[in-house]
Amino acid sequence: MLAIGATAARAQQVADTTFDASVAQPAFAKRHPKVLFDEAHHNFHTATGRYKAFADLITHDGCLVTPNRAPFTLPELAGYDILIISNALGSERMSDSTAARAAFTGPECDQVRDWVRGGGALLLIADHAPMGSAAKDLAARFGVDMRNGVTVDTTAGRFEQMNPTLLLYTRANGGLGDHPILAGRDSNERVGRVLAFTGQSLTGPEGSTALLVLSPNARDLIVPSLQAAMTTDIAQAIPAAGRCQGLAFAFGKGCVVVLGEAAMLSAQIGGSAANRFKMGMNVPGTDDRQFALNIVRWLGRALPNH
């Protein structure tokens, strides 16, 4: 029943038009990083759609956001500082079995890798199945393993709203790592509480830092979709100890952040007409909004100790 609740929220999610995307102290007041926001790979989240709040937020922070509607090539990427890809799919409909196909061609994966190695910055987001499968090849170019399942945790203090897929990361519960993204520019930007809204688990390459650390009791349901998790007993889940839902690392001259959950950087309203609730950066009592800003600031080299 807990997984059903998560599915209902996903199925009926709409943008929260009341979200305040203003930024009191922009990080990029003088220098304006050029951000390429992918919309060319059947993306569930786009700058003009479900991720508009995120795109508006980083625009108010001083970034210049441009939607991408073409295959990735080095000449295309060369004009940008940051590439954002969220929930790319192998086909248009997430419910179709073809959605799990690779979203990117082999040459595209190679060109993105080479661009980052040469100094580019990548934010790659792929949450629960089938998104992990669609992005797996690109993630592997950077040494990141995507489990492509649904991560659950029934540990007290590690989940919210009676739903073991809504995972809570705090300093008190050991869920937050040690990284400039979590520290911000000063104590006012320090991230202390991140809520993730149903995703997959990750591991990174040697030298990477886990931002959102899963508990020793976390597990992964290896299923083809969130809908399939509804009828799968949690007891069938495999261990996810030592894995995470967010990580950051340097790659050549560039840098990478990978997230295993996407809604935390959105601002949406979920649920049925009779039971509406907020989901994402708009949820009171979380630092998801600051987490989103800090990620892009780190990628844009506006945080100390980059």
**Tens of pLDDT, residues 7-55:** 444 546 788 889 999 999 999 999 999 999 999 999 999 998 999 999 9
Give dist(CA 117, CA 230) in Å, integer: 40
| Residue 255: predicted pLDDT | 98
Report which secondary-structure segment, H or E, holds 3: helix 2-11
Between CA 164 and CA 279, with CA 177 as vertex, the angle to 5 degrees is 40
Domains of the chain: 2-299 (3.40.50)
Q: What is the pTM of this model?
A: 0.94
Give dist(CA 201, CA 241) in Å, integer: 10
Q: Are 92 and 102 in contact (CB under 8 A)?
A: no
Give dist(CA 53, CA 72) in Å, integer: 24
Average pLDDT over residues 210-219: 97
Q: What are 170's strand-pairing partners?
A: 193
| Token code pair at residue 26 | 């922009």
Give dist(CA 199, CA 226) in Å, integer: 9
| Residue 24: predicted pLDDT | 95
Could you identify the residue written with the tokens 């929260």?
Answer: 16
| Token code pair at residue 190 | 């320090």
Q: Is the pLDDT of residue 4 over 70?
A: no
The chain-wide mean pLDDT, for the chain, equals: 93
| Token code pair at residue 244 | 């995470």
Of 104-118, 122-136, 218-232, the one with minimum mean pLDDT is 218-232
Which residue type occupies 33? P
Could you identify the residue written with the tokens 């090849």?
Answer: 137
Describe the strand order of the beta sheet including 163-170 as a list of residue ranges: 159-160, 163-170, 193-197
Q: What are 109's strand-pairing partners?
A: none
Of 248-257, 267-276, 296-305, the one with minimum mean pLDDT is 267-276
| Residue 12: predicted pLDDT | 66
